[in-house]
C-alpha cells in the first residue's frame, strides 16, 4: 500500500479489503481505479521507469511505446513532431498561401523568405531544429507535395472482398496516397464506386437503399484525423458484402470512451493541429458530433447500428450496409 503512494508517480490510492473464502481463508483484495494522469512511473533511485503490461508480465516500455503513452495522455502531440530529411521545398506553397490567407487573414505574396518561415513556424507547419527547418508531421500531411515519401505508412489501404471475410476473393484493392483531404475524398469516392445499390420493391416502385456519402466521409475523416501517426501502419478500409470496416491505428486517447463518442459533444483530439485544419475546411464538426451523426443517419435509414470497438492498438468502426 505504501509503495502506491511513495514510489508510484503520480501517486495512486488503492482500495484494500479482506474477504474470507473456503471455510475461513483470508484473502486480500486490492482495487485500483483507472487513472486519468497517465502514464504512471515507478521511482528507482534517480530513474523513472515506465512499465508496460504484456500478457501476465510487466516490462519496461521502449522509447516508441513511451512516446505513444504520452501521446495518448494528451501530454504530447505527434502531429507537431519534426520529420527528418524534409525542408520547405517539400511544401506546396500555393496551398499554404491560400490556407493562411483564408483562415488566418495573412497575405504572404510580398513577404520575405524569413517572414514566410516565421509564419510557417508559428503555424506549426515547420519546426526549427539544430539541423535546419523541417516540416512537422501535420504540416507534411496538410501541405506536403509527396507526404508518403517521408511518412510511408500514412496512406489508406482499401480492399473489397466478395464475401464476409478477408479470406474471400479480393475484388478490388487500392492504396490511396496524398495529403489529408486527398486521402479522405479519394477513399470515399472509392467506397461509393464499389457499392452495389441494394433495392426493394415498395408498391410498384423499386426503392434504392444506400448509406449516404456524408456517413462514409465522416467515418474516413475521423480515422485520418484521429489516428496514431507514430504507429507504422496505414489506415485500412475493408469492404465486405454486408459491411464496411474502417480500421484506424491507435487506441482511444486518454479519457475518451466509446460511450462518450456515442453521446457526442466531446471534441478531444489526438492530433490538434490536423484537427484544426480539417475543422477549418469543414471536414470535422466543431462540436465533436461526428459519430453521433453516423449513428443517427444509419438508424433513420433502417440500417443496423454501427459497431465501435478497440482491438489492441487499433480502433474499428463497422458500418453495416445491409
| All domains of the chain in start order, with CATH | 2-75 (no CATH), 80-146 (no CATH), 156-320 (3.30.565.60)
* pLDDT tens digits, one per residue of 239-267: 999 999 999 999 887 678 888 888 876 66
- From the number of C-beta atoms within 10 Å of its C-beta (0-12, 13-18, 19+), residue 54 rates as exposed
The residues with which 303 forms a beta bridge, in sequence order, are none
**Is this model's pTM higher than 0.95 or not?**
no
39: confidence class by pLDDT, cuts 50, 70, 90: confident
Q: Which three cell numbers stand for residue 246?
A: 474502417
- Give the whole-angstrom CA distance, residue 93 versus residue 85: 18
* pLDDT tens digits, one per residue of 87-141: 999 999 999 999 999 998 999 988 999 999 999 999 999 999 988 999 999 999 9
- pLDDT confidence of residue 76: 65
Residue 56 has pLDDT above 90, yes or no: no
Residue 282 has pLDDT above 90, yes or no: yes
Bridge pairing between strands 156-161 and 235-239: parallel
Q: Which three cell numbers stand for residue 220?
A: 474516413
- Other CB atoms within a 10 A radius of the CB of residue 210 amount to 15
Amino acid at each position: 500500500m505504501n509503495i502506491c503512494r511513495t514510489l508510484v508517480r503520480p501517486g495512486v490510492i488503492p482500495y484494500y479489503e479482506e474477504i474470507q473464502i473456503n471455510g475461513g481463508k483470508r484473502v486480500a483484495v486490492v482495487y485500483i481505479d483507472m487513472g486519468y494522469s497517465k502514464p504512471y512511473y515507478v521511482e528507482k533511485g534517480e530513474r523513472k521507469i515506465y512499465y508496460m503490461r504484456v500478457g501476465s508480465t510487466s516490462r519496461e516500455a521502449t522509447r516508441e511505446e513511451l512516446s505513444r503513452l504520452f501521446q495518448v495522455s494528451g501530454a504530447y502531440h505527434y502531429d507537431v513532431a519534426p520529420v527528418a530529411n524534409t525542408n520547405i521545398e517539400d511544401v506546396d506553397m500555393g496551398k499554404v498561401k491560400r490556407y493562411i490567407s483564408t483562415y488566418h487573414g495573412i497575405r504572404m505574396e510580398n513577404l520575405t523568405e524569413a517572414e514566410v518561415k516565421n509564419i510557417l513556424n508559428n503555424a506549426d507547419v515547420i519546426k526549427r531544429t539544430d539541423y535546419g527547418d523541417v516540416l512537422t508531421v501535420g504540416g507534411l500531411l496538410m501541405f506536403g507535395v509527396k507526404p508518403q515519401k517521408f511518412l510511408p505508412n500514412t496512406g489508406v489501404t482499401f480492399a473489397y472482398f466478395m464475401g464476409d471475410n478477408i479470406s474471400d476473393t479480393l475484388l478490388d484493392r487500392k492504396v490511396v496516397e496524398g495529403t489529408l483531404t486527398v486521402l479522405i475524398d479519394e477513399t470515399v469516392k472509392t467506397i461509393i464506386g464499389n457499392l452495389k445499390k441494394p433495392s426493394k420493391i415498395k408498391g410498384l416502385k423499386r426503392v434504392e437503399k444506400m448509406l449516404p456519402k456524408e456517413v462514409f466521409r465522416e467515418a474516413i475523416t475521423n480515422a485520418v484525423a484521429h489516428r496514431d501517426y507514430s504507429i507504422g501502419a496505414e489506415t485500412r478500409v475493408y469492404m465486405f458484402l454486408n459491411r464496411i470496416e474502417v480500421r484506424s491505428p491507435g487506441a482511444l486517447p486518454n479519457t475518451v470512451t466509446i460511450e462518450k463518442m456515442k453521446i457526442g459533444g466531446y471534441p478531444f483530439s489526438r492530433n490538434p493541429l490536423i484537427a484544426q485544419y480539417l475543422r477549418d475546411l469543414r471536414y470535422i464538426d466543431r462540436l465533436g458530433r461526428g459519430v453521433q451523426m453516423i449513428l443517427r443517419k444509419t438508424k433513420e435509414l433502417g440500417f443496423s447500428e454501427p459497431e465501435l470497438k478497440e482491438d489492441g492498438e487499433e480502433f474499428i468502426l463497422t458500418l453495416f450496409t445491409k
